[in-house]
Structure 1
Amino acid sequence: MGVPDRFEVAAGAGLGAVFAVAVAFQAYQVAGSWGAGYWPFGAAVAAWVCALALVRRRDPLWTAVAGLTVAALAVLVTRLVHLPAEPSPAASLGAAVLVGSAVRTLPARTACAVAAAGLAVVAGGLLVNPGSAVPVVSGLLWLAALTAGGGLRLLAARRRTVAERVRRAERLELARELHDVVAHHITSIVLQAQAARLVTAKHPERTAGSLAGIETAGSEALAATRRVVGLLRDAAPAAEGHERLGELIEGFESHGRRAHLRLDAEPSGWPPQVSSTVYRIVREALTNVSRHAPHAREVTIGITQHERAVTVEVEDDAPRLPARRYRRAGYGLIGMSERLEALGGTLTTGPRPGSGSGWSVRATIPTGEHR
Structure 2
Amino acid sequence: MRVRRWAADAALGVIFAVVLAFWAVRIADSWGGGYWRFDCAAGAVVCAIALARRFDPARTAVAGLAVAATAVLAARFADLPSEPGPAMALGLAVLVGTAVKTLPVRTACAVAGGGLAVAAGSLVTAHTLAAGVPSVTLMNVLAWAAAVVAGLCPRLLDARRRAVAEGVRRAERLRLARELHDVVAHHVTGIVLQAQAARLVSRKSPEKAGDALADIEAAGSDALAAMRRVVGLLRDPDEPAETTMPGRPGELGELVERFEAGGRTVRLRLPDEEETAAWPPEVAATVYRVVQESLTNISRHAPQARSVTVEVERDRETLTVEVADDSPQCPSRHHQRGGYGLSGYGLIGMRERVEALGGTLRAGPRPGSGWSVLATLPVPVSPPRPRPARERAR
TM-score (norm 1): 0.55
Q: Which residue of 2 aligns with 1:7?
A: 4
Q: Which residue of 2 aligns with 1:22?
A: 19
Q: Which structure has the greater CA radius of gyration?
A: 2
Q: Deviations over 1:94-143 (max 9, x none)?
A: 10111112122222222222111111111211122252522221111111
Which among 29, 33, 41 is matched to residue 44 of structure 1? Answer: 41
Q: Is residue 62 of structure 1 aligned with residue 64 of structure 2?
A: no
Structure 1: gaps of 5 or more residues = 243-371
Q: Is residue 155 of structure 1 aligned with residue 152 of structure 2?
A: no
Q: Which residue of 2 aligns with 1:111?
A: 108
Asked whether the equivalents of residues 202 and 208 of structure 2 are also in contact (C-alpha less than 8 Å), the reply is yes
> How far apart, in 2, do the equivalents of 1:110 and 1:30 lie?
35
Q: Deviations over 1:58-117 (max 9, x none)?
A: 222211111010000001111221322111110000101111121222222222221111
What residue identity is the alignment partner of 1:153? R
Q: Which residue of 2 aligns with 1:268?
A: none
Q: Which residue of 1 aligns with 2:264?
A: none
What residue identity is the alignment partner of 2:125? V
Asked whether the equivalents of residues 76 and 124 of structure 2 are also in contact (C-alpha less than 8 Å), the reply is no
Seen in structure 2, the aligned counterparts of structure 1 residues 238 and 139 have a Cα distance that, compared at 3 Å, is: closer
Q: Is residue 100 of structure 1 aligned with residue 97 of structure 2?
A: yes
Asked whether the equivalents of residues 182 and 221 of structure 1 are also in contact (C-alpha less than 8 Å), the reply is yes
Seen in structure 2, the aligned counterparts of structure 1 residues 219 and 80 have a Cα distance that, compared at 3 Å, is: farther
Which among 70, 73, 84 is matched to residue 73 of structure 1? Answer: 70
Aligned partner of residue 54 in structure 2, secondary structure: helix
What residue identity is the alignment partner of 1:139? V
Aligned partner of residue 68 in structure 1, secondary structure: helix
> How far apart, in 1, do the equivalents of 2:227 and 2:121 lie?
65
Seen in structure 2, the aligned counterparts of structure 1 residues 228 and 111 have a Cα distance that, compared at 3 Å, is: farther
What residue identity is the alignment partner of 1:94? G
Seen in structure 2, the aligned counterparts of structure 1 residues 37 and 130 have a Cα distance that, compared at 3 Å, is: closer
Q: Which residue of 2 aligns with 1:262?
A: none
Q: Is residue 140 of structure 1 aligned with residue 142 of structure 2?
A: yes
1:129-278 → structure 2 map (5 Å cutoff): 129-131=126-128, 132-178=134-180, 181-204=183-206, 239-240=242-243
Asked whether the equivalents of residues 27 and 39 of structure 1 are also in contact (C-alpha less than 8 Å), the reply is yes
Asked whether the equivalents of residues 43 and 88 of structure 2 are also in contact (C-alpha less than 8 Å), the reply is yes
> How far apart, in 2, do the equivalents of 1:9 and 1:224 lie?
53
Seen in structure 2, the aligned counterparts of structure 1 residues 37 and 9 have a Cα distance that, compared at 3 Å, is: same
What residue identity is the alignment partner of 1:127? V
- 1:228, distance to aligned residue in structure 2 (A): 6.5
Asked whether the equivalents of residues 229 and 244 of structure 2 are also in contact (C-alpha less than 8 Å), the reply is no
Which among 88, 92, 95 is matched to residue 91 of structure 1? Answer: 88
Q: Bigger CA drift: 28-37 or 65-74?
A: 28-37
> How far apart, in 2, do the equivalents of 1:48 and 1:70 lie?
8
> How far apart, in 2, do the equivalents of 1:20 and 1:240 lie?
62
Q: Which residue of 1 aligns with 2:343?
A: none
Asked whether the equivalents of residues 60 and 102 of structure 1 are also in contact (C-alpha less than 8 Å), the reply is yes
Seen in structure 2, the aligned counterparts of structure 1 residues 223 and 115 have a Cα distance that, compared at 3 Å, is: farther
Seen in structure 2, the aligned counterparts of structure 1 residues 180 and 94 have a Cα distance that, compared at 3 Å, is: same
> How far apart, in 2, do the equivalents of 1:46 and 1:204 lie?
97
Which among 117, 120, 130 is matched to residue 120 of structure 1? Answer: 117
> How far apart, in 2, do the equivalents of 1:225 and 1:241 lie?
11
- 1:208, distance to aligned residue in structure 2 (A): 8.2
What residue identity is the alignment partner of 2:91? G
> How far apart, in 2, do the equivalents of 1:95 and 1:83 lie?
20
Asked whether the equivalents of residues 53 and 97 of structure 1 are also in contact (C-alpha less than 8 Å), the reply is yes
Seen in structure 2, the aligned counterparts of structure 1 residues 63 and 202 have a Cα distance that, compared at 3 Å, is: same
Which among 82, 88, 97 is matched to residue 79 of structure 2? Answer: 82
Q: Bigger CA drift: 162-171 or 124-133?
A: 124-133
Q: Figure out how many residues of one structure are paired with residues of the other and give that number.
A: 237
Give RMSD over aligned pairs. Answer: 3.5
Q: Deviations over 1:238-279 (max 9, x none)?
A: 74469xxxxxxxxxxxxxxxxxxxxxxxxxxxxxxxxxxxxx
Q: Which residue of 1 aligns with 2:348?
A: none
